[in-house]
Amino acid sequence: MKFLVDACAGHRLAQWLRSQDHDVVESRDRGPDPGDRALLQYAAEEGRVLVTMDKDFGRLVFLDKAQHCGLIRLPDVPVARRIGLIDQVLTRHAAGLAQRAIITVRGDRIRISHSE
């Protein structure tokens, strides 16, 4: 699977995804933060699932109808739990991500949504 990892989600998470044989690009490697809309556009153009801690992407996808190739949102997930939760998401919901799902992880709850 292809991912674009937002800087706020962390380098360690990106490294772990690579160790699982995923194609991973980190937003921090592309220079200064281009803003949420541009980051989502980069991910969509490259066919990547965007992984972020930022809550604003939900607004862009659901209200503004921004194009995307899937989104994993981890608001308020501590660094120590991110890799374990992403592992669960990929194990249980990879098919949904392939269908452009928006997955939000809060605590131990995983919510799956789809935009139009």
Residue 36: give the domain boundaries: 2-114
Please report the pLDDT score of residue 116 as a whole number: 63
For the chain, how many structural domains are there in total?
1
Q: Is 14 exposed, middle or buried (0-12, 13-18, 19+ CB in 10 A)?
A: buried
Q: What is the mean pLDDT of each run of 10 residues along the chain (116 residues)?
A: 94 96 94 89 96 88 90 89 92 92 88 83
Please report the pLDDT score of residue 69 as a whole number: 94
- The CATH code of the domain that includes 41 is 3.40.50
Please report the pLDDT score of residue 7 as a whole number: 93
- The DSSP-derived string for 73-109 is E-TT--HHHHHHHHHHHHHHHHHHHHTTEEEEEETTE
Cβ-Cβ contacts under 8 Å for 89 (sequence gap 6 or more): 72, 97, 103, 105, 110
